[in-house]
Amino acid sequence: MSRKRDDAPALETEAGRRAWENALEAVGGDASGEVREPLERYARAADLAGMLREEWTKSGRPATSTGGATGKALVPHPLVKMMAEAEQEAAKLYEQLLRPAPAAGGVRRGPGRPIGSVSAPDRRPEPPMIRRAPRLHHEPELREVAG
């Protein structure tokens, strides 16, 4: 394994640097070629999540603040939401790093019968029953009005 700390991008937080090291180890220790860009994207996302967490901690770990349309409603603190979104993005990028998208060729469908295909005859629903409309007993009255 040829790990070079010099190759690591400039990351602001310990969480970002730790993410870089862990991801580098997960991809085999080489940050060159096609893996470099996704590796950096993940590390930067983890770094952002770390910066937000540090800011949240410095702020006293607030859970709520006032806001909303009136500015007086109790709402989740903005840092909590931003932190959650940044952590979700970092997790998604990590998954993409470990499991790259399949080569071009379209979307692969899952297992099972394609939508709209014909099923076995014994699994088809019964055709709806056709009923005759009742005869109208008011025909003479209608003719009188029309005539």
Question: Closest Cα partner for 57 from 87, 79, 78?
Answer: 79
pLDDT of amino acid 44: 94
pLDDT of amino acid 80: 94
Q: Do residues 79 and 55 lie in contact, with contact meaning Cβ atoms separated by under 8 Å?
A: yes
Angle at 31 between CA 39 and CA 2, to 5 degrees: 140
Question: Does the global pTM surpass 0.75?
Answer: no
pLDDT of amino acid 102: 64
pLDDT of amino acid 88: 96
Tens-digit pLDDT string for the chain (147 aa): 444 444 778 899 999 999 999 999 988 888 888 888 899 999 999 999 999 999 999 999 999 999 888 989 999 999 999 999 999 999 999 998 888 766 555 566 678 777 767 667 776 677 788 888 777 666 555 555 554
Query: What distance in Å separates the CA atoms of residue 33 and residue 41, rounded to the nearest whole number?
Result: 14
Phi, psi (5° rounding) for residue 140? Answer: -60, -40
pLDDT of amino acid 99: 83
